Amino acid sequence: MPAVHAVVECRLPESFRVRQVEGMFDLPPAAGERCAFDVEVPSTEEPWTIGLIVGPSGSGKTTVARQAFGNHLIERWDWPANKSLLDGFPAALGISDITQLLSSVGFSTPPAWVRPYWALSNGEQFRVNLARTLAEMPELAVVDEFTSVVDRTVARIGSAAVAKAVRRRGQRFVAVTCHYDVMAWLEPDWVLDMADGSLTRGRLRRPDIALEIVRCNRSPWRLFKRHHYLSAELNPAAQCFAGLIENEPAALVAVLPFPHPHCPGWREHRCVCLPDYQGLGIGTAISEFVASLFAATGKPYTSVTSHPAMMRHRSRSPLWRMIRSPSRVGAGRRMGRGRRLAGLDKTLSWRRMTASFRFVGPPRPELARQFGVVKDVR
């Protein structure tokens, strides 16, 4: 385990105002200041994935990180001013790789993907920078001022999302921050606390996230509609279910009856997770929970999605069976006098690559009764 010896020297300028302050506070005249930091940092030859350098402002975090990891330290990225954020990623990356990276760090809102970087919120910029860091620094990335510009909900959820992505991709990541509240959420393999210079080994474990699911009316949709990748409309006949974290809305699922002359059933109408809570599978969790309620009716429950991350998950999950592989619905199909299938022109769904899935997981009859999905459980 290497010892890091870092020194910061600063030559103090002289001026009339400097002398005034020295006189006011009885400070001795000084030509300069010198700070030295002697700490231990795990070597890149050792088996670790995520590290954390934490401590109060001025404790030497950045100095030590730069001394230990050199040009792997990332402070910021330059983004094109008049282009989509997508164009800021390395040219060698395909669009599928970019969207997968964005989803992996919890930025799963396709309408926002096409915006320029400056048009994003602080939380969105934080996640986009993380995605680009993973793209640009595939071996080791050291991020300075980690979570410093975002609120603490985004900081915690974003830390958990990036930790999940880093471990899945087999990369190495070191966060440098003054915020101790992200420690457990990042699940680091080691923590260097610059407050006292101590190094702690052993992977921390993320706190459990309690997701409360309740049945609700259509009114919460106003919080979610601008984040849905397809449409801001909600069918008046939709049955809605909200996912709450610490009593705050995090996700919403809406369900519609699916009329069919021989096999009527249900279909997922909307599934939205707010950006602050993306990246931990919360949307997937509420989607599958609600599906299990409607499966208790004995009728088929289906969902059509064009979201790449959702398609990847469901194609691998034992809870779903793909009943139509990814394709553009209605492309090339005509009806009547050369018109496309009824309603497709209005929704433009024939232009999107979508896949259909049927829920085949176990039903929850008792919970279905409690949620009012079925009145009589046999």
121 contact partners, CB below 8 Å, separation of at least 6 = 275
Instruction: pLDDT band for 282, please (50, 70, 90 cuts).
Output: very high
What is the C-alpha end-to-end distance of the chain, expressed in Å? Answer: 63
Which pLDDT belongs to residue 22? 78
Which pLDDT belongs to residue 317? 97
Which pLDDT belongs to residue 348? 46
124: its two tokens: 């969105």
pTM score > 0.95 for this model?
no
**Interval 134-192: pLDDT, tens:** 999 999 999 999 999 898 988 999 999 999 999 999 999 999 999 999 999 999 999 99
For residues 325-330, give the mean pLDDT: 74
Q: Does pLDDT of 277 surpass 60?
A: yes
Q: Does pLDDT of 223 surpass 50?
A: yes
**Interval 65-95: pLDDT, tens:** 988 898 899 888 999 999 999 999 999 999 9
Instruction: pLDDT band for 345, please (50, 70, 90 cuts).
Output: very low
Q: Does pLDDT of 346 surpass 60?
A: no
Helix (H) or strand (E) holding 19, with range, is helix 16-24
Q: Does pLDDT of 318 surpass 50?
A: yes
Instruction: pLDDT band for 19, please (50, 70, 90 cuts).
Output: confident
Which pLDDT belongs to residue 293? 98
- Mean of the per-residue pLDDT values of the chain: 87
Q: Does pLDDT of 7 surpass 70?
A: no
Instruction: pLDDT band for 235, please (50, 70, 90 cuts).
Output: very high
**Cα(285)–Cα(297) distance, integer angstroms:** 20
367: its two tokens: 């919970």
Nearest 5°: the CA angle 240, 245, 248 is: 70
Question: Is the pLDDT higher at 233 or at 35?
Answer: 233
**Interval 40-50: pLDDT, tens:** 899 888 999 99
Residue 346 amino acid letter = K
Q: Does pLDDT of 197 surpass 50?
A: yes
Q: What is the dihedral of CA 362, 365, 369, 370, to 10 degrees?
A: -60
Chain Cα centroid distance, residue 155: 10
Q: What is the DSSP string of 209-258?
A: --EEEEEE-STTHHHHGGG-SS-S---TT-EEEEEEETTEEEEEEEEEEE
Looking at the chain, how many residues does it have? Answer: 378
For residues 353-364, give the mean pLDDT: 94
Domains of the chain: 3-201 (3.40.50.300), 211-370 (3.40.630.30)
Which pLDDT belongs to residue 375? 80
Q: Does pLDDT of 351 surpass 80?
A: no
Q: Map residue 6 onto helix, strand or coil.
A: strand
Which pLDDT belongs to residue 337? 42
